[in-house]
Amino acid sequence: MWILTPSGLQPPAAQALPGECPHCHRQAALTPVSTPGFEVLRQHAPRRVGIVFRCEACGAPRFFRYTVRRITDTRIELATRGQELERAPERYPYSHLPAAVARLFREALACHASDCFNAFASMCRRTAEAAFAELGESGRLRMFDGLEDIIALCELDAATAQRLHAVIFGGGDPRPDPLPELDADTAAVLLEAMKDLLYQIFVRREKLLRTLRMRRFFVAQGSDGPRTDRDGAGAPQGHAGLPAPPPEADSA
Ligand SMILES: [Zn+2]
């Protein structure tokens, strides 16, 4: 347990791993930078307290809430494990999505990381609507087939499947279907379904195209021999009508 005394905060003897930092996505040591005052806690005896740590990898603040176990005149004992108030959102290769889809899906994942499951469902529907606007009717049908595949592969029950359909395909004019209430379990299924659908529709294609551009670029270089600035080919040129290979830029 954590022990707070008038002289400061003592960590547990064998401190549990703090978990992935939501800012730098690394497992790093935490240093307490803001702890509640001993006398104030002893006087008010709250059931829970907050402590701010600094991530030693990136320097960002991390906020934890701890249950107070026992208060005496000389020490205050806190639970060993605290609840982190800012959870790490899922990582996703947003750079492979169209900008409008990426922006909405990033917000959807932030809602999920905050346990706001109905807000998450709303943002998933908006993400799907943005994808349909990008893809047209044929893309919508491909996503529909993709969801059917997921439902069959994962043997999802009828009620869950119906909720996924309602969230993803229930939007649109003039009268969108009401959004179903989502619990943590259904939200988890929706999360994986959306990640997979967007991957199949956008990310896979974009990754293949980038790899293909790279391959063609190197093949062209190999056949023409190494280029130098004197050849007037300092900047990489595209091949077969394709633009020059872009730098890989997956982002979290
Ligand atoms: Zn960090």
Mean predicted lDDT score pLDDT of the chain: 85
User: What phi and psi, each to the nearest 5 degrees, are found at residue 33?
Assistant: -115, -15
pLDDT in tens, 128-154: 999 999 999 898 999 999 999 999 999
Quote the pLDDT of residue 16. 54
How far does residue 20's CA lie from ligand 1's centre (Å)? 8
How far does residue 200's CA lie from ligand 1's centre (Å)? 31
CB atoms within 10 A of CB 132: 19
pLDDT tops 70 at residue 71 = yes
Three-state DSSP state, 143: helix
SS3 helix, strand, coil % of the chain, rounded to 5?
45, 15, 40
How far does residue 62's CA lie from ligand 1's centre (Å)? 8
Contacts of 223 (CB under 8 A, 6+ apart): none
pLDDT in tens, 199-237: 999 998 888 888 899 999 888 888 654 454 444 444 444
Q: Cβ distance 193 to 150 under 8 Å?
A: yes
Q: What is the largest CA-CA distance in the chain?
A: 81
How far does residue 96's CA lie from ligand 1's centre (Å)? 25
How far does residue 157's CA lie from ligand 1's centre (Å)? 39
How far does residue 219's CA lie from ligand 1's centre (Å)? 41
- Side-chain-side CA neighbours of 106 within 13 Å: the count stands at 13
Q: Cβ distance 10 to 3 under 8 Å?
A: yes
How far does residue 64's CA lie from ligand 1's centre (Å)? 14
Top-ranked range on mean pLDDT: pick from 86-95, 123-132, 166-175: 123-132
pLDDT in tens, 47-69: 999 999 999 999 999 999 999 99
Tokens at 135, concatenated: 């893809």
pTM score, two decimals?
A: 0.65
How far does residue 170's CA lie from ligand 1's centre (Å)? 39
How far does residue 252's CA lie from ligand 1's centre (Å)? 14
Q: Cβ distance 166 to 179 under 8 Å?
A: yes
Quote the pLDDT of residue 14. 58
Quote the pLDDT of residue 46. 94
Quote the pLDDT of residue 234. 41
How far does residue 123's CA lie from ligand 1's centre (Å)? 27
pLDDT tops 70 at residue 43 = yes
Quote the pLDDT of residue 41. 92
pLDDT in tens, 115-133: 899 999 999 999 999 999 9
